Structures are given as structure tokens and as C-alpha cells.
Chain A
Amino acid sequence: GQQLNQSPQSMFIQEGEDVSMNCTSSSIFNTWLWYKQDPGEGPVLLIALYKAGELTSNGRLTAQFGITRKDSFLNISASIPSDVGIYFCAGRMYSGGGADGLTFGKGTHLIIQP
């Protein structure tokens, strides 16, 4: 099956620093999604990318859909305490016919040190 390699696995940063994480895939996707999960909650969609090469921002978050359709990155600028959580990349290969699911990366744990 499809595999997503997400890195880094965890990040310990100071408040105010910029954060960068990425995902690579062994196969192509036609949609890349970035989610954040807080403790005791489900993943919440941050950014969705639908076209190869697309660069999209959502506030302090910026994500790009790699031109090869096999990778994506997420940047967070000027981190704040509420950015703490687990960030997941997810890929979707929409076939147009059936009910297809997401393939998730293993997550990046973001920890902000005071």
C-alpha cells in the first residue's frame, strides 16, 4: 500500500520560532491535506492542496503541494503556545468511482518550550 514518510517525528522549539515539516510518498496523490490533532480530539483540517505546485497560506501556516505530487511541506511562522499538538500530513488519490480514504503520515509532535 501507499506509504507516507513524515519528518521530523518531533520538534522541540522556542516560542516565536518558525517550524517546518514535510511528507514524502512512494506514489502520487492528487490531494494533500495537513491536519492538527489536540489531545483528546480528532484531527482538524488546516490546509488542503489540490494542484501540483500549489502554495497555500492560512494565517501563519503555509503549505505546498510538490510538483512531482509525491511530497508536501508545512511551515508555521512565529510559533505560539497553542501551536502545540500533533501535525499530520495526509494524501488522497481520488479515483472518482468509489469511497476512497486518506493515507496518513505518522505525525510530527510539536512541543514549544517556554
Chain B
Amino acid sequence: DTAVSQTPKYLVTQMGNDKSIKCEQNLGHDTMYWYKQDSKKFLKIMFSYNNKELIINETVPNRFSPKSPDKAHLNLHINSLELGDSAVYFCASSQEVGENGYTFGSGTRLTVV
């Protein structure tokens, strides 16, 4: 079983469209995240979320919104897509309390044309 799974793996869409990326973790972790990896491979956190708190990186446009139907899922909705949104988006999860690393999904490559 894949620990952190995200779908789709690839997403090609036109500017102005609205799209969603889904993420599920079966690790029982408390906290989930979305990261963006740009063309230079730089990874930057976008959101972190547990059942208590959503923390948003202030540099993330409000066209991006995370939605968590339950503890095991954190989906990413993007409105009015722009060319600059093209990147690889990674979902991750971790235990909030204690010493731990993060487990990442395999990524969604978003291409806006």
C-alpha cells in the first residue's frame, strides 16, 4: 500500500481553468502538507494542516485553497490557473507530536498552457 498517494500524476490544463489535486495518507499521521517544487527543483511549503489549524504560507496566492474532508485527506484546489502555476506539487504527512520525518507522495506535475 502506498503511504501517501496523490492523483493525478500528470495534469495538463489551460489558463483560467479550475483544477484539484487529491491526496490521501494511510499512515495515521496528524498533519498533512502541500509543497511546490519549481523548475529549479526548489521545494517550498504552501500549507500545513491538522485537525486544529491551517497554516498558510503568506506567499501563496489565495487562488490556492486546501480542503480536508477528514484526517486522511488533504486536497488542493486551484482557481483561475496561471502559467506560473506550472510546477510539481507534493503532498506530505507527518506526526505532529514527537520526533519524526515527513513522508511525501510521488508528486503531481501540473502544466498550464
Residues of A within 8 A of B (CB): 31, 33, 35, 37, 40-45, 48, 50, 86, 88, 90, 98-104, 106-107
Contacts and interface: CB of A to CB of B under 8 A. Distances in A.
Contacts of B43: 43, 88, 102, 104
A56 to B, nearest CB: 12
Contact of B41 (A40, A42, A100, A107): A107
A104 B42 contact: yes
B101 A99 contact: no
Interface string B4-41: 10000000000000000000000000010101000011
B48 A101 contact: yes
A99 B96 contact: yes
A29 to B, nearest CB: 13
Given A33-B102, A42-B92, A101-B33, 11 more contacts: A35-B104, A42-B105, A42-B107, A43-B90, A86-B41, A88-B43, A90-B102, A101-B35, A102-B45, A104-B43, A104-B44
A33 B48 contact: no
Interface of B: 4, 31, 33, 35, 40-45, 48-50, 52-55, 57, 90, 92, 96, 99-107
The 4 closest A-B CB pairs, nearest first, are A42-B104, A101-B45, A99-B48, A45-B101
A51 to B, nearest CB: 9
Contacts of B104: 35, 42-44
A43 B40 CA distance: 15
A44 B90 CA distance: 12
A103 B40 CA distance: 16
